[in-house]
């Protein structure tokens, strides 16, 4: 007898439900794996990133004893006199002069000693007193920056940045799928239960994730330019092979093998930009630092610019500045004998991809929209930490005793095919993430095979 209330659709409905359940299990399993791999790194990146958002405010308070001075404009020393005071305290070769961004900040001189790493000397430009001598880039903000980028641990650990970035995008995509309501009312934008219940932590994790997900993807994508593989390749695409300068920029001067990033802090787009060369005249004399600084001032470089000093007869004065206002970013190279501008470029000269990426990087660092930018990203960083903590608590509450608590396998393994295709697309976009995915898939298959063997032996 035919069931007129359900008809033939009942088996089809059951099959659809089983298929949906299998897909959910497959996605849940890989969401778990991705989280297990990168959540500790995401906590580190979120905490250090949140601190770095307020780097200037924190640095000027932590290091107020040598960063803060009392302005007395009529007593301000010439740049060459400031450099001379720094060299008297720290012998070596002066390689960089950094103009203070505000009148009440000291002047920083970077010196290369005969042996050992570079040193930073902070000088009161109004009285000539040397306030501090310390290793270059050793302030609190620089330490946090190196921790955030993992550069503190050397070049190879920076590969993790790309892996974490790719997996964080995977976490957001799979998280949205798991969060999708499917008819439920609770746990969508509200949190049910109390902290002692697992559903509270599940809802807290899901709701936080859905609100923070967009920021996580944005931070992951805009953080990728600093990665070793993806970032280097995209930098090449964005800026071409025009001596590391954006494609279309006229370069008709001799170029050295030195890169701007090696001598001064620079923007991401300019990291591979080569420094031009000066052709020494037969009887000419260098214009000197004072004239070079006067030239940079006349050209209108934003306060706080740094000047990389020539250390050879072929060297140039390279003035560069990267303020919060992208339109004020600028790099100018001056002939050390004539003072003529050899290359003068700004944000407007970057290619379309370079401008877009620089905007993203600038926003990633909390600079584009001022205090609002900092507060919004601080909230996003707090959300990332909350996501990680709630995930750990939720896992701890649900895991069986003595087990890792990996989500169960779907009954129909064919659902993995579509999932692995999507994972593969992400792996192609981010190569190091793709390689890590292949390793994880191999380990998961090996674990399943081993579990099947153990089950068969037990039977």
Query: How high is the pLDDT of residue 5?
Result: 45
Query: How high is the pLDDT of residue 2?
Result: 43
Digit-coded pLDDT (tens) for 7-34: 445 666 665 666 678 888 888 988 999 9
Q: 138, 170, 201: which is the final residue of a domain?
A: 138
The answer to whether 205 and 185 are in contact (CB under 8 A) is no
Helical axes 159-179 vs 415-429, angle rounded to 10°: 140
| Whole-Å CA distances, 191 to 80, 391, 397, 422, 450 | 63, 14, 17, 30, 39
191 inside domain: yes
57 inside domain: no
Most confident of 160-164, 269-273, 356-360: 356-360
- The chain-wide mean pLDDT, for the chain, equals 88
Question: Does residue 298 sit in the same domain as residue 431?
Answer: no
Question: Does residue 330 sit in the same domain as residue 278?
Answer: yes
Digit-coded pLDDT (tens) for 141-176: 999 999 998 888 877 777 888 899 989 998 999 999
Distance separating alpha carbons of residues 366 and 361, to the nearest angstrom: 9
Query: How high is the pLDDT of residue 31?
Result: 93
Question: Does residue 131 sit in the same domain as residue 158?
Answer: no
Question: Does residue 322 sit in the same domain as residue 294?
Answer: yes
Question: Does residue 278 sit in the same domain as residue 330?
Answer: yes
pTM confidence score: 0.88
Distance separating alpha carbons of residues 387 and 378, to the nearest angstrom: 14
Q: Name which residue leads in pLDDT, 246 or 266.
A: 266
Structural domain of residue 305, as residue ranges?
Answer: 248-350
The answer to whether 77 and 126 are in contact (CB under 8 A) is yes
54 inside domain: no
Q: For tokens 């903590």, what's the residue? A: 389
Domains in the chain, number: 3
Query: How high is the pLDDT of residue 4?
Result: 45
Q: Name which residue leads in pLDDT, 182 or 324.
A: 324
% residues pLDDT > 70 (the chain):
93
The answer to whether 152 and 143 are in contact (CB under 8 A) is yes
Burial 408-421 (b: 16+ CB within 10 A, else e): eebeeeebbeebbe
Could you give phi then psi for residue 275, rounded to 5 degrees?
-90, 130
Question: Which of the residue ranges 154-158, 281-285, 360-364, 376-380 would you say has the lowest mean pLDDT?
Answer: 154-158
Instruction: Kindly state the DSSP code that residue 332 receives in the 8-state scheme.
Output: E
Question: Does residue 175 sit in the same domain as residue 34?
Answer: yes
Helical axes 140-148 vs 9-52, angle rounded to 10°: 160
Query: How high is the pLDDT of residue 16?
Result: 62
Digit-coded pLDDT (tens) for 109-138: 999 999 999 999 999 999 999 999 999 999
Question: Does residue 345 sit in the same domain as residue 377?
Answer: no
Q: 72, 105, 138: which is the final residue of a domain?
A: 138
């Amino acid at each position: 007898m035919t069931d007129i209330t359900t008809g033939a659709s009942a088996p089809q409905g059951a099959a659809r439900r089983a298929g949906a359940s299998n897909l959910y299990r497959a996605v849940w399993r890989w969401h778990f794996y991705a989280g297990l791999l990168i959540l500790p790194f995401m906590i580190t990146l979120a905490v250090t990133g949140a601190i770095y958002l307020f780097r200037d405010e924190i640095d000027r308070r932590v290091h107020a004893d040598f960063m803060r001075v009392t302005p007395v404009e009529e007593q301000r020393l010439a740049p060459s006199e400031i450099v001379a005071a720094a060299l008297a305290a720290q012998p070596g070769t002066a390689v960089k002069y950094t103009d203070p961004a505000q009148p009440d900040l000291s002047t920083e001189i970077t010196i290369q000693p005969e042996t050992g790493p570079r040193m930073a000397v902070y000088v009161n430009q109004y009285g000539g007193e040397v306030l501090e001598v310390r290793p270059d880039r050793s302030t609190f903000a620089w330490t946090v920056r190196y921790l955030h980028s993992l550069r503190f641990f050397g070049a190879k650990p920076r590969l993790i940045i790309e892996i974490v970035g790719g997996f964080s995008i995977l976490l957001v995509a799979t998280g949205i799928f798991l969060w999708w309501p499917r008819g439920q009312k609770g746990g969508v934008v509200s949190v049910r239960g109390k902290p002692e219940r697992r559903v509270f932590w599940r809802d807290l994790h899901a709701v936080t994730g859905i609100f923070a997900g967009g920021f996580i993807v944005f931070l992951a994508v805009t953080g990728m330019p600093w990665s070793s593989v993806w970032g280097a390749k995209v930098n090449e695409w964005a800026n071409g092979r025009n001596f590391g300068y954006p494609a279309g920029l006229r370069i008709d001067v001799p170029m050295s093998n030195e890169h701007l990033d090696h001598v001064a802090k620079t923007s991401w787009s300019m990291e591979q930009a080569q420094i031009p060369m000066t052709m020494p005249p037969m009887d000419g004399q260098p214009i000197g630092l004072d004239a070079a600084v006067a030239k940079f001032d006349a050209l209108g470089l934003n306060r706080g610019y740094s000047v990389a000093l020539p250390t050879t007869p072929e060297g140039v004065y390279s003035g560069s500045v990267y303020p919060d206002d992208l339109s004020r970013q600028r790099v100018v190279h001056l002939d050390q004998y004539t003072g003529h501008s050899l290359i003068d470029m700004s944000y407007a000269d970057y290619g379309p991809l370079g401008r877009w990426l620089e905007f993203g990087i600038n926003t990633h660092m909390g600079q584009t929209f001022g205090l609002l930018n900092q507060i919004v990203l601080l909230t996003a960083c707090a959300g990332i930490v909350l996501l990680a903590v709630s995930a750990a608590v939720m896992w701890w509450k649900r895991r069986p005793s003595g087990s890792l608590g990996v989500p169960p396998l779907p009954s129909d393994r064919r659902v993995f095919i579509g999932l692995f295709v999507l994972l593969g697309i992400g792996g192609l976009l981010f190569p190091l993430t793709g390689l890590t995915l292949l390793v994880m898939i191999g380990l998961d298959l090996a674990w399943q095979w081993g579990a099947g063997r153990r089950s068969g032996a037990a039977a």
